[in-house]
Every structure is written in structure tokens, then in C-alpha cells.
Amino acid sequence: MRHGTRIGIDPGDARIGVARSDPTGFLATPVETVRRGKGDLARIVRILSEEGDGSPVLEVVVGLPRSLSGGEGPAAVKVREFAGRLAARVAPVPVRLVDERMTTVSAEAMLRDQGRKGGKRRAVVDQAAAVLILQHALDTERATGAAPGEIVEET
């Protein structure tokens, strides 16, 4: 397992959920929800500098929405474009795309089970989805010994 803090991103049309791992790559925790639009990439770049615990962030993991069959639709095209722009802003920190099928649904269910309702749940569901995306990537790396997902080229 590589040592270093990772940042997890769940990009949506209105909000971007952000999570981070501890430097050992064991546990993902929520950071914040960034409003989508002007300044969103700049805020994510600032988060990277704030969340590295004094050392550089190892990588950024972005959730790639796929259909249940594994195909990619319009949402995946938008995420790939977002990830390319993000990669250009955070270079030389690598950005990876990882499959995020069902993470938002799982995050919604988890928050509902915790008794979070309506607006309170919407305010944190993107962070919870980012935690699930990042935790899955961490668990995959720990199980396989290989970095998860695919590297994003800068655009």
C-alpha cells in the first residue's frame, strides 16, 4: 500500500463531494461539499494544499458514473471532461477515475438509515458518496496491491 493522503471527489451537476484519506490509506473521511460552478476547481486545489498534512497529496480519485452494465453515458462524458480540467490544475498530482456505480444511492440509504432528513441529507450526501468512492479505491488497492482505476490525462 502506497503511503500518502488521497482526495476523493464525487462530481455532480450542482455539488462536488470531497473526502480525504489518512496518510496510511486506511480510512476515508468527509471534507466538504463544494458548490459546482465558478471557482469550484480553485477550491478543490486549495483543499489539496490544506488536506495533505504537511506532505503532498498522493493522488485524487474521481468517481466515474457508469451504468449497471458498465457502459458510459452523458454523465460519464461530463465527469471525464471535469477530471481532465482538474488534472491540469493539480499536476503533478495524478488524478484517477474509478467506477462509482451506486455510490450516491448507497450514500443516500446510509444517511436515511442514520435518520438524516431532506435538506440535511442533501447537504452531506455528496460528501458521503465521495467517502464511499475513496474508501472503495483504498480497499481495492489494499486487496490487489495496485493503484485503482485509470489515470486521467490533462486537458
- Quick one: how far is CA 134 from the chain centroid? 6
Range of the domain at 130: 6-140
Grid cell listed for 105: 444511492
pLDDT of residue 95: 98
**Percent of the chain predicted with pLDDT > 90:** 65
Domain CATH number, residue 26: 3.30.420.140
Residue 151 within a domain:
no
Residue 154 within a domain:
no
Q: How far apart are CA 21 and CA 5, in angstroms?
A: 5
Number of domains in the chain: 1
Residue 148 within a domain:
no
Residue 94 within a domain:
yes
**Residues recorded for the chain:** 155
Residue in the structure block whose three cell numbers are 452531506: 124
Whole-model pTM over 0.85: yes
pLDDT of residue 61: 97
